[in-house]
Amino acid sequence: MATVTLIEPQSAPAQPRLNYLTEKTGLMSWLFTTDHKRIGLLYVFSITFFFFFGGFFALLMRLHLLLPQGWLFGHETYNKLFTMHGIIMVWFFLIPSIPNTLGNFVLPMMIGAKDLAFPKLNLLSWYIFMLGGMTTLYALVRGGVDTGWTFYTPFSTSYSTSFVITAAVGILIAGFSSILTGLNFIATVHRMRAPGLTWFRLPIFIWSTYATSLILVLATPVLAITLAMIGIERIFQVGIFDPALGGDPVLFQHMFWFYSHPAVYIMVLPAMAVVSEIIPTFSRKPIFGYKAVAFSSMAIAILGFLVWGHHMFVAGESAYAAMTFSFLSYMVAIPSAIKVFNWTATMYRGSVQLDTPMLYAIGFVALFTIGGMTGLFLAALGIDVHVTDTYFVIAHFHYIMVGGTVMAFLGGVHYWWPKISGKMYPEFLAKLSALTVFLGFNLTFFPQFILGYMGMPRRYAAYPPEFQVLNVLSTAGASILGVGYVVPLIYLMWAWKYGESAPDNPWRTTGLEWKTPSPPPKHNFEETPVVTWKAYDFEAQKEELHLG
Amino acid sequence: MADPIALALREQFHSAEQQRETSTVGMWIFLITEVMLFGGLFTAFSVYRMSHPAAFDQGSADMEFWMGAVNTAVLICSSFCMAMAVHSAEKGKNGRLAFFLILTILIGLVFLGIKFTEYYLHYHDQKLPGIVFHDTSPDAAYVQMFFVFYFLMTGLHAFHMIIGEGILGAMLFRTLLGSFSERYHTPVELAGLYWHFVDTVWVFLFAIFYIPGAHMK
């Protein structure tokens, strides 16, 4: 029988106590803060900006595709639209989305630490991120980039006349921000855990974020050097990747995907982290198969490094390489499926409550499953040759990245919103918009599976008339999805000012982050907690949580 | 009164021990990212070397072998001085620490001097890809590629050396201020780790760029 020896901070709700938001005020207190919670919020503002920016481009593309011949933009502008959509969404929203916002905010609290291991580096990483973002936006203002977010050579190094180098420099800079965050998280998890908090008592959120951080520090430097080589080839016109100059364009693809495939797991592992917190909370049960879920995160991080070749089945890879990469890609399905089965088993016979975060989490499991299954189609050599570079691929990875990561991000924002802001959000409106996002998402992207299977190629500004119905459906879905994203932005901001005050532990759950006031004080805990219980041990904390 | 440990203990840590261990973990992770950064270049270089071995040997024959060999010895000496500096820091001998830091910095400058002399000689021989490159052999494109990687990789290494000189300068400054003691000298240790890493990278660079063509002179 575990005992709770946490020393509760004296509660004096009558007088508003100082918390991390009120402790210091003024713009400078934010721009020079080293508090992980404030830096998390700085990231929230930044990536929300980039998200709506990138989303705006997506909406413009969908509007353009209402008519088969396109009607809003010229083809070159369309190329720039999908490129900037991809660059902004991948590097300035998805990669930092969950780790740098929610991760920054809750990771130190979950392990009972006062802050991350290197608070100044943490702030530096935000400044580097903003510098990278501004550089990329500068490329956009000057006229944009038309290479696609993948920067394939030799188009990017010899033929494109757009602002490739500026954008590449922006991404390279942002990469260093990723590296610093990953480094900080790894050092923090290794050395900053509260007394008694052993590895197998850690919440799954920590395991998955740790796995993400490993990928961040191992893969991002390779992207940096690859982008640097593109820049060198483009400026000096010396052969690295351009076959006309003696280089090998397939080597570029190898190096690019060595980063960019693991990057997919940088995006989805933190989503899994969030969902692994939400589902036990709203099922009132410990996560089913704790060790299996924890190790599957590590397995995904490791296997994720061995599958990059499946992006190159039609790029002139040898048959043996293709078969190997195909097999290894199937292997990734195993830890992914372990997670899905365990989440489902956690809900089974639990007291499931369908609060807003849970709606998002269930939505995540459903959409991630579809995205993962279609990933298996694409890992199969025969089918991949048929659907390479079609909308099938677009639909598949949007199911993972939007259906997976964005759903989990919104779920996590709602889940920790009471802790972050100290306020509750309007539950009915939140449920309604969760439903809107789910429906809008499926209406946008399900038709794209069919379009892709029928042969509509990606990145085209026009299409044959017989594809119009499905394209119109997709555009309609995108409009609904857009509404689903704007509404939470509005009511969350409203709740920040006018919402009901949140209790310390509104979901009556077990994590350490809920054992501190909402919003937390500057150093999270008045006294360092001593942990004697396992993660998600509702039984042991029954009385404290009033679960009767 | 001014206990250096109390002054140096950051608020997020509980003890000097925890702070030292955490900083060390952080440095090792940083070095791993550096391995991946250079690793990308080593991989690309190896791929092209396997496709064009003759041209790459020819490029290697154009290296200033003895300057590279001397530079390797120079860096190993600097690593030795750095190790002595860390050792002196552990013993709390600040005078010796400052002496060895100065020596390490000077030897590092010797390396950079020799390196940039080499760069000048390549420029003189018209072996500077993208600016002035002249090669009459049938494999000229691939010889040039060898030089592209040579300048990229040794240039990135030299950049790390310059950063390292700055770090060692900062360590020297703090030593002279009396910031370090037997009980607190983590920054010197970490600067040492970084310096040894950069030196190790050079050993590999010497092996892939200078040695393969040395017998063809």
8-state DSSP, A518: S
pLDDT given at position A15: 57
3-class SS of residue A22: coil
- For chain A, the structural domain boundaries read 39-515
Whether the CB of A195 is below 8 Å from some CB of chain B: the reply is no
Whether the CB of A523 is below 8 Å from some CB of chain B: the reply is yes
Q: How far is CA A187 from the centre of its chain?
A: 21
Which of A190, A225, A233, A241 to probe the B interface (max B CBs under 10 A)? A225
Q: How near does any CA of chain A get to the CA of B129, in Å?
A: 7
Whether the CB of B25 is below 8 Å from some CB of chain A: the reply is yes
Angle, CA A208 vertex, CA A202 and CA A210 arms, to 5°: 80
3-class SS of residue A129: helix
pLDDT given at position B1: 39
8-state DSSP, B92: T
List chain A residues with CB under 8 Å of B26. 117-118, 183-184, 187
**Which chain B residue lies closest to A226 (C-alpha atoms)?**
B40
Whether the CB of A184 is below 8 Å from some CB of chain B: the reply is yes
Annotate B94-140 with DSSP letters as a single string.
HHHHHHHHHHHHHHHHHHHHHHHHHHHHHHHTTEETTTEE---STTH
Q: How near does any CA of chain A get to the CA of B148, in Å?
A: 7
Instruction: List pLDDT tens digits, range A200-210.
Output: 999 999 999 99
- What ipTM was estimated for this complex? 0.94
pLDDT given at position A544: 81
pLDDT given at position B46: 97
* The two three-digit tokens of residue A275, written as one number: 């969902």
CB A269 within 8 A of CB A301: yes
Buried b (16+ CB within 10 A) or exposed e, A293-330: bbebbbbbbbbbbbbbbbbbbeeebeeeebebbbebbe
Domain with B210, as residue range(s), is 4-216
Question: Do B12 and A219 count as a contact with CB atoms less than 8 A apart?
Answer: no
Question: Per CATH, which fold does A39-515 belong to?
Answer: Cytochrome C Oxidase; Chain A (1.20.210)
Nearest by CB to residue B12, choosing from A113, A186, A235, is A113
Question: Do B36 and A183 count as a contact with CB atoms less than 8 A apart?
Answer: no
Question: Do A218 and B32 count as a contact with CB atoms less than 8 A apart?
Answer: yes
Residues of chain A with pLDDT under 70: 1-16, 548
Residue A228 identity: A
- Of A513, A541, A419, the closest CA to residue A203 belongs to A513
Give the number of other CB atoms < 10 A from CB of residue A281.
23
Whether the CB of A21 is below 8 Å from some CB of chain B: the reply is no
> What is the pLDDT confidence band of residue B6, given thresholds at 50, 70 and 90?
low
Q: Omega of the bond prior to A154 within 30 degrees of 0, cis?
A: yes
Instruction: List pLDDT tens digits, range B64-83.
Output: 999 999 999 999 999 999 99
CB A503 within 8 A of CB A514: no
Sign of CA dihedral A290, A296, A297, A302: positive
Residue that is written with structure tokens 């779920």 in the block: A411
Which B residues in the span 142-201 are in contact with A, Cβ-Cβ below 8 Å?
Answer: 142, 144-145, 148, 152
What CA–CA distance (Å, rounded) separates B214 from B217?
6
3-class SS of residue A501: strand
Mean pLDDT of B97-102: 97
Beta bridge partners of A423: A501
Query: What does pLDDT average to over chain B?
Result: 93
pLDDT given at position B4: 53
Angle, CA A392 vertex, CA A389 and CA A395 arms, to 5°: 115
Instruction: Tell me what percent of the residues of chain B surpass a pLDDT of 70.
Output: 96
CB A387 within 8 A of CB A471: no
* The two three-digit tokens of residue B22, written as one number: 């955490």
Which of A104, A115, A191 to probe the B interface (max B CBs under 10 A)? A191
Question: Do A183 and B33 count as a contact with CB atoms less than 8 A apart?
Answer: yes
Q: How far is CA A400 from the centre of its chain?
A: 10
List chain B residues with CB under 8 Å of A176. none
Total domains in the fold of chain B: 1
Q: How near does any CA of chain B get to the CA of A117, in Å?
A: 7
pLDDT given at position B37: 97
Which of B10, B27, B29 to probe the A interface (max A CBs under 10 A)? B29
Mean pLDDT of B130-151: 92
What CATH code is carried by the domain that includes residue B78?
1.20.120.80
Whether the CB of A224 is below 8 Å from some CB of chain B: the reply is yes
